[in-house]
Amino acid sequence: MSKRLTVLGLAASVMASSLIMAAPQAAAQESVYVPLFTYRTGPFAGSGIPIADGMHDYLQMLNERDGGIGGVKIALDECETGYDTKKGLECYDAVKPKNPVMVNPWSTGISLSLIPKASVDKIPVLSMAYGLSASARGDIFPWVFNPPATYWDGLAMIIRYIGTESGGLDKLKGKKIGYIYFDGGFGKEPIPLFEQMAKEMGFELKLYPVPPGEMQNQSSQWLSVRRDRPDFMVMYGWGAMNPTAIKEAVKINYPMDKFVSIWWPGENDINGTEGAKGFKMLNWHGIGTDYPALKDIQKLVVDKGLSKSPKEKVGELLYNRGVYNAILIAEGIAQAQKITGKKVVDGSDVRRGLENINLDEARFKAIGLPGFAGNLQLTCKDHNGHRAAFIQQWDGAKWVKMTEFIEPLPEKVKPALDEAAKEYGEKNAGWPKRSEACDKS
Amino acid sequence: MFYRETGQFKTNYAGDMAVFPILQDRIGIALILVVAFVLIPLLGSDFLLSSVMIPFLVFSLASIGLNILTGYTGLISLGTGAFMGVGAYACYKLTTLFPEVNIVVWIVTAGFFSAFVGVLFGLPSLRIKGFYLAVATLAAQFFLQWCFTRIPWLYNYNTSGAIEVGQRTLFGMNVTGPKASLEARYMVLLTLVTVLTWVASNLMHGRIGRSFMAVRDMDIAAELMGIDLLKTKLLAFAVSSFYAGVAGAAMMFLWYGGGEANDAFNINQSFLILFMVIIGGLGSMIGSFFGAAFISMLPTMLKFGLPALGIPLAGATAEHLTYILVGSLIIFFLIVEPHGLARLWQIGKQKLRMWPFPY
């Protein structure tokens, strides 16, 4: 038989394996299956790796320390999305038969594609502080959760902060505010609200979109910034866009303390950039390992070699962001167990659990994270909480918290939110009315 | 032994010129159709349908489109992703403006919008050739993608900038939207692909296809033989973009079910489809399917298939390994057979005719 034929046989066997590919095995009975969509590859990996590690390590720690949640092990599973919608959908289809109690898409693009599926497949979508802002409305999106704040809340907080800096919101009149953003769903979403506030408060809004393919080449945008000289810069960036923007801002000598970002940059994005001192961003949770639960992570997970994270990265900003996400997962499951009395809960139970999340000071203390973040209470109407965040500043080596919690402007955000939620329902003809009953808590 | 044309006599010209002149080939095609239409929807797992077959069919359609342009007519295009996008957005606008018309009609109609845009961007092909044309079509890619982001009318002023796919039915069954069953989506897509492949195959075997190939082989000679270059090249662009447009609309409506469309139709998509055509085999219908299978199915199968077979691979490791394996397989196949998988297939068939007594 010639070599060619061997090659052909190989090709044929590769093709044939598609047909015999086994269906993914069902998860074991006595566990709660939690798939984590992560992206340790691709242009967003810089942000994705610490988040993935944080989520994984906290849940792993619960398994090691408490034997899971409520006596039931968490079956952890990672699926690599590369922040790519196509791969995210693949992951979703792959985990669906294993009855996940929820999915965390970790990409606005993937969230947008999963939102319509959630109510049909009975799998709640937890998109923590990303995704569709309008999904904060629990009465319209019963299966989607995006706590603790929406991008619109984030913008309102930034504007409020800028207002305070200038001596009151009315002082913003005549000021110029630049907005540099990721030119996709995530960055574009706040623009209508931004424009409306510009009109009402009388400031001038300058837009600097950064196309997804050009994240690492922002010289033209920053050239315009240098020309326009905005009084403040607001950034909605992600992945490789953040470090590039910070470097470019330093290069054109933009005053860093006038540069405020949404909550996504991490230490990796700014560390080592000389002159980045003074850069500000929103955040809503603690940094560092000075919490009993994080000490447990170090002891039970990282030291035992069960984590992919390097030791010194534990407790970094985005790592703790992952931890916060994992807390929400764990709380959702714990609440579901409490409400239903079952040990092994499913997606519908966890949906109810998430609606009854009540993370107050006492609860944070009980789970070993005293003072880690502000209180968060979700209800069946409010799937977001619209919680306040604070501003932190880069001092050249670490983040320093510089303000107290800043409340978003609900009177500005809420009408926009209601409008968007209503519109979504109208445009998606046949969008189901909420049929899930509300729990009285 | 089994695959032999001995004793199959043709008594008329039509029989001699048939696409599948050998009986065994016809049986093979029938078998494939039976498997695709009956066995896969009945026996396949949800994952096989949703993440393997549906993407494969969408990419096959797009590959056929690009193959008509690049493989048959010899015009390189890097704008396929954008032309797919035109189809998706056209379909979205049409179905939101006229929701009462059947969605399948709009998916096909969207192809005509894409064809029109394709003709527009095909105009430079009259003056420029080869790599220079590739650069010119790159402009289409960037310009159209810019439009998808910058013209809010295209995505109905949604704040998220995403295409939202509503519920649409066919024969009383949901075919789009979250409630549509996988089988319904698969069957609609499969029917579309089958019909359009049949059309493309006939087109390529007829006068039009031959004029395309004449232009590919030497356009001056083709012109001397009376082929109107302007018409032929633009027709190639139109047909190619039509297929791409239908593929794009099918991708958003039958596969993704909505989402951030502007990003889905980026330059990477164009490259991916070009690779499918090159690896599958330029100027070959079956090559388009091979290429689509290789580039779209193989990574998915490696990533999820290996863990299912008991090889423990998780998250990023699976992803890295997939990159390595697919990359080396591409090089391997191109070294073994630079004319693509379709040529390998042809050689295999040739050998099979003489098997087991080759001379």
Chain B residues inside the 8 Å CB shell of A429: 99, 166-167
A397 touches chain B (CB under 8 A): no
Instruction: Provide the whole-model pTM.
Output: 0.86
The span from the CA of A119 to the CA of A141, in Å, is: 8
Q: Which of A37-51, B180-194, B232-246 has the highest mean pLDDT?
A: B232-246
CB A341: neighbour CB atoms within 10 A? 8
Predicted confidence (pLDDT) at residue B134 exceeds the cutoff of 50? yes
Residue to test with chain A: of B260, B289, B309, B329, most A Cβ within 10 A = B260
3-state SS of chain B is CCCCCCCCCCCCHHHHCCCCCCHHHHHHHHHHHHHHHHHHHHHCCHHHHHHHHHHHHHHHHHHHHHHHHHHHCCCCCCCHHHHHHHHHHHHHHHHHHCCCCCHHHHHHHHHHHHHHHHHHHHHHHHCCCHHHHHHHHHHHHHHHHHHHHHCHHHHCCCCCCCECCCCEEECCEEEECCCCCHHHHHHHHHHHHHHHHHHHHHHHHCHHHHHHHHHHHCHHHHHHCCCCHHHHHHHHHHHHHHHHHHHHHHHHHHHHCCECHHHHCCHHHHHHHHHHHHHHCCCCHHHHHHHHHHHHHHHHHHHHHHHHCCCCCCHHHHHHHHHHHHHHHHHHHHHHCCCCHHHHHHHHHHHHHHCCCCC
Question: Which helix (H) or strand (E) covers residue A360, if one does?
Answer: none
Is pLDDT above 90 for A409?
no
What average pLDDT does the segment A319-336 reach?
A: 91
Q: How many domains does chain B have?
A: 1
B336, A25: Cβ pair inside 8 Å?
Answer: no
Q: Would you identify the CATH topology of the domain A151-283+390-412?
A: Rossmann fold (3.40.50)
pLDDT (tens digit per residue) in A68-85: 888 899 998 888 888 888
CB contact under 8 A, B258 and A184: no
Mean pLDDT score across all residues of chain B = 87
| pLDDT greater than 50 at residue A15 | no
Return the pLDDT at B67. 94
- Neighbour count for residue A22 (Cβ, 10 Å): 13
pLDDT at A22 over 80: no
In a domain, B273, yes or no: no
Q: Is residue B7 assigned to a domain?
A: no
CB of A79 less than 8 A from some CB of B? yes
CATH homologous superfamily of A31-149+287-381 equals: Response regulator (3.40.50.2300)
To the nearest 10 degrees (0 to 180), the angle between helices A347-355 and A317-340 is 110
pLDDT in tens, B71-106: 999 998 999 999 999 999 999 999 888 888 889 999
Whether residue B43 lies inside any domain: the answer is no
Residue A23 has pLDDT above 50, yes or no: no
Interface pTM, i.e. ipTM: 0.84
Instruction: Kindly list the residues from chain B whose CB atom is less than 8 angstroms away from the CB atom of residue A433.
Output: none
> The tokens of A409 are what?
């402007």
Would residue B323 count as lying in a domain?
no
- Residue B165 lies inside a defined structural domain of this protein: yes
Domain range enclosing B164: 49-266
CA dist B243 and B259 (Å) reads: 21
For B7, counting Cβ atoms within 10 Å of its Cβ (0-12 exposed, 13-18 middle, 19+ buried), the class is exposed
Orientation angle between helical segments B182-205 and B207-217, nearest 10 degrees:
70
Q: How far is A54 from chain B (nearest CA, A)?
A: 15
**Would you say residue B35 lies in a domain?**
no
pLDDT digits (tens, 9 = 90+) for A348-375: 899 989 998 888 889 999 998 998 888 8
Residues A372 and B218: their CA atoms lie apart, in Å, by: 72
CB–CB of A90 and B304 under 8 A? yes
User: How is residue A315 annotated by DSSP?
Assistant: T
Contact criterion met (CB < 8 Å) for B161 and A185 = yes
B305 vs A281, more confident: A281
Domain ranges of chain A: 31-149+287-381, 151-283+390-412
Q: Give the residue, B235 or B256, on which the prediction is more confident.
A: B235
C-beta of residue A236 within 8 angstroms of C-beta of residue A187: yes
User: Above 70 in pLDDT, residue B257?
Assistant: yes
Whether the CA torsion B72, B74, B79, B81 is positive or negative: it is positive
State pLDDT tens for residues A116-165.
Answer: 888 888 899 999 888 888 888 888 888 999 888 888 889 999 999 998 88
Taking 60 as the threshold, does the pLDDT of residue A25 lie above it? no
Is B158 within a domain? Answer: yes
Residues 6+ apart with CB under 8 A from B119: B234, B237, B238, B241
In a domain, residue B120? The reply is yes
- Residue B174: what pLDDT? 81
Residue in chain A lying closest to B258 (CA): A113
